[in-house]
Structure 1
């Protein structure tokens, strides 16, 4: 978040700091103890907030753990809405994600890989992530509102598969500058992959 985007009032800034403290502490605490083994009360105790304050910011323990994932897709939908839809739609999807990654700050790049590792270690988080991914895909279909819905849904699935492949290659070391490059490579490989011979 840039200085221009900072909330104007003291109350809003305090709320933002509390929300950020919950996100950062959740990723650290769940990473140390395991998501499934850490009760919500342990997080609230660490940050020194009430349940009421927590639920004003997040819907669930899963929601705070996946804040980096949800931030990414919220920004992606915003970027996609503002993108000129011309040329191959696959390129539009790729360009929107590349723009989204440019907008992510250093804190996000620090939290995101840790979040992905939490997801890999927790069936509950994995299920929550899959559900959120399906909701985002449905939202893209709704916003584009095209007659060729079957082909559109297939294209979105292909793009998500390329994104996941790029993340798999990125995760061991997670250098921020390499994720866009890996995504370009996996998207470029999709056409060849669809033409592989038996």
Structure 2
């Protein structure tokens, strides 16, 4: 049985979320580089000392919605059933469980804003790449601790393919998201991308037919 968070924990979560919302709004209106941490803190009426209890900097707060999903993925991975299914299938169902866990009614809108900022901001892109690599190392550590996996490239390549499918789904979703955006649409796009992986491995490099040639 899950224990309900204490009043103190709920207040901390509200403060953290208020910082994320204020940052995403200000960055979206004025540009990531033109907004200071002081302005974000002033918007929520907290000190920079309070800000740094939750985030390491502007990139961290701007990417919080997406990074929260991956942290939930790592937590879900600790309890995912080791039932002998293909590793890609296990990771797919685990990511979908993590997405369902974090995707409250406001998450999708925040995630779209976060991803669009990521696409437009070089420092956020670099931060995202670093976070992705760090997260993948953590994923592999959990997998090797819990599962009987070979000590070769295959687990890492499976993880990289799963991340590639997620990025493909996220990019298409953020570009065409409805208003309000739907996390269930993102989940469906991710399932479709994962389903396309086997076919991508068997694509042939055949030359294009000459113009006018019969098909």
Shared topology, TM-score over 0.5? yes
Q: Any conservation in 2 of the 1:166–1:179 contact (CA below 8 Å)?
A: yes
Output one character per residue of 1:52-106: Cα deviation in whole Å (capped at 9) or x when no partner.
Answer: 1111121111111111011100111111111112210010011111111221211
1:97 is aligned to: 95
**TM-score with structure 2 setting the length:** 0.85
Partner of 2:75: 78
Unaligned runs of 5+ in 1: none
Aligned residues between the structures: 194
Correspondent of 1:190 among 197, 206, 211: 197
Q: Give yes or no for the alignment of 1:36 onto 2:43.
A: no
The residue correspondences of 1:24-173 to structure 2 (distance < 5 A) are 24-85=21-82, 86-103=84-101, 104-145=103-144, 146-171=149-174, 172-173=176-177
Residue matched to 2:9: 12
Q: 1:21·1:47 contact (CA, 8 Å) conserved in 2?
A: yes
* TM-score calculated relative to the size of structure 1: 0.92
Q: Secondary structure at the match of 1:87?
A: coil
> SS where residue 27 of structure 1 aligns?
helix
Cα root mean square deviation, aligned:
1.5
Q: Does structure 2 retain, via aligned residues, the 8 Å contact 1:36–1:124? A: no
Greater C-alpha Rg? 2
Shift of 1:184: 1.1
CA distance in 2 between counterparts of 1:12 and 1:122 reads 32
SS at match of 2:32: coil
Structure in which a larger fraction of residues adopt helix: 1
Which secondary structure does the structure 2 equivalent of 1:177 belong to? helix
How far apart, CA to CA, are the structure 1 residues paired with 2:122 and 2:69? 21
Structure 2 unaligned residues grouped into runs of 5+: 206-215
Give the 3-state SS of the residue equivalent to 1:105 in structure 2: coil
